[in-house]
Amino acid sequence: MYEARLKVALPAVWERLERARSRSDGRAVRLVAVSKGHPLEAVVSAWRVGLRDCGENRVAELDAKRAALADLLPVADLEVQWHLIGHLQRNKARRAVALSNLIHSVDSERLAEELSQEAVRAGRTVEVLLQVNAAAEGSKSGFLTVEALLSAAVRITALGGLRVTGLMTMAPYTVDERVLRATFRGTRDRFERCAAEVPGFQPLHLSMGMSNDYEIAVEEGSTMVRIGTALFGERQP
């Protein structure tokens, strides 16, 4: 079911991404396939159609799918880059460090410190993005102001075991293009400020855009989009 759907949906998503890139500065965009709420079959099918970046919102679901994929298709598990994109509790830091290639949602210094401790203990370096709340939504986590972000970024980039390679944001769920553009543009401005003012910040990834708004996000400078519904359909109950 999923493979047949992806053979239709994926070319359509790539086509829309390419059109959006042509309307922006043409920078490369990385597609993260988000299988949250879908079974292992979705991840296997994503790999079979050529997708190598897989995203999950929760540590437990990432853990289960990664283990099952390793048992079923060891080669696939070796090739997949696993992205943890959802809110991360500090008590899940150890598993997040063990399982993730890129953690998108570092939304506080306390979480960064916990991840640093676990990464140092495990003898590895974990790539992370700092989450910003550019729309100042009470329901979302992340650094609210430019000043708070810059101050935190200086301290987080100095922590052992972490490599800070960009920012992530989630825009409000709305069809108001002005709101979406303002959110994405504000995040890109913060990204550029971090790149210019934080010595340890590596400006590689600007993770913005999901199924409902990824074209606008790319037009505003996103280098990484997180797509679930547009690829896999609505999540199963």
Q: The CATH number of the domain where 209 resides is what? A: 3.20.20.10
Q: What is the mean pLDDT of the chain?
A: 96
What tokens does 23 get? 């309307």
How do residues 56-92 score in pLDDT, each as one tens digit? 999 999 999 999 999 999 999 899 999 999 999 999 9
How do residues 165-222 score in pLDDT, each as one tens digit? 999 999 999 999 999 999 999 999 999 999 999 999 999 999 999 999 999 999 999 9
Note whether residue 237 is domain-resident.
Answer: no
Question: 163 and 128 in contact (C-beta within 8 Å)?
Answer: yes
pTM given for the model = 0.96
Note whether residue 64 is domain-resident.
Answer: yes
Note whether residue 225 is domain-resident.
Answer: yes
Mutual angle of helices 40-48 and 59-72, in 10-degree steps:
60
Please report which confidence band the pLDDT of residue 137 belongs to, taking 50, 70 and 90 as the band edges. confident
Amino acid at 140: K
State which residues form the domain around 9.
2-232
Note whether residue 160 is domain-resident.
Answer: yes
> How far apart (Å, rounded) are the C-alpha atoms in residues 162 and 105?
13
| pLDDT at residue number 237 | 56
How do residues 104-119 score in pLDDT, each as one tens digit? 999 999 999 999 999 9
Note whether residue 78 is domain-resident.
Answer: yes
Number of domains the chain contains: 1
Note whether residue 139 is domain-resident.
Answer: yes
Note whether residue 135 is domain-resident.
Answer: yes
| pLDDT at residue number 135 | 86
Q: Which of 219, 105, 81, 100 is nearest to 169 (CA)?
A: 105
